[in-house]
Amino acid sequence: MELGEVTVNDKVVRDPAVPVRIGKDRIAVNGSIIQKANHGYLMMNKPRGAVTTANDEKGRKTVISLLPSDRSNLSPVGRLDMASEGLLLFTNDSQWAARITSPESHVDKTYHVQIDSPGDRALLGQLLSGVLEGGELLQAKRVRKLREGQKNCWLEIVLDEGKNRQIRRMLNACGIEVLRLVRVAIGELKLGDLPKGRTRDLTNQELGRITRTMA
């Protein structure tokens, strides 16, 4: 800066402590305008079998490979394991991503889960009261039965924590096998009818609603 290569609002600035207003002040280095980074916010209907990582040492399909070529700078917000499906968010706004995944934000995450059991009242009560697994108490915020057959049923399970593989671990501790696990909502943001493997940008209204739930 001492060489005079930096200008703010067309005035040379030599002191690095001079405050600037990102997005309002005109900042240039050697005449080139420095633009505020554009943040992107995207949702994906993650298919089963895709790994939530940028690169996989085993050569498996990754969620990054499913992004449009012009959005490959975005990173997944949190994780869905390889066998899980549904709503996965992407952004290059690291602060926003950290707030969504922070346990202190208590953002509800809603899952539809098919299990190999009729899912009786005792099981639902156990998931609500919590189960110990690996020395950790795992607990659902809400749970209800959606539909059932003779040998299996679908549950809706809502979590407001972000513990690793929480639903699978809870049900496994109860002797129940998960057949399918689909995340259908994060806060008020719903997966809707987005086709599997496809992506779309969040609308300003959706972004505002989910951001307000973290306030």
Per-residue pLDDT tens digits for 123-142 = 999 999 999 998 899 999 99
Question: In this structure, are 61 and 94 located in the same domain?
Answer: yes
The residue from 15, 70, 81, 193 that is catalytic is 81
Rounded Cα–Cα distance for residues 138 and 90 (Å):
26
Greater model confidence, 3 or 164 = 164
Reported pTM: 0.81
Q: pLDDT value at position 208?
A: 86
Residues 125 and 163 in one domain: yes
The residue that leads in pLDDT, 195 or 54, is: 195
Does position 1 have pLDDT exceeding 50, yes or no?
A: no
Tokens read off for 119: 């899912």
Share the mean pLDDT of the chain.
87
Per the structure, the count of domains in the chain is 3
Rounded-to-integer distance, Cα 82 and Cα 123, Å:
25
pLDDT average, residue stretch 30-46 = 77
Query: Which range of residues forms the domain containing residue 201?
Result: 41-104+192-212
Can 81 be counted among the known catalytic residues?
Answer: yes
Contact indicator for 36, 23 with CB cutoff of 8 Å: yes
In angstroms, the CA 101 to CA 86 distance is 17
- The yes-or-no verdict on residue 164 having pLDDT over 80 is yes
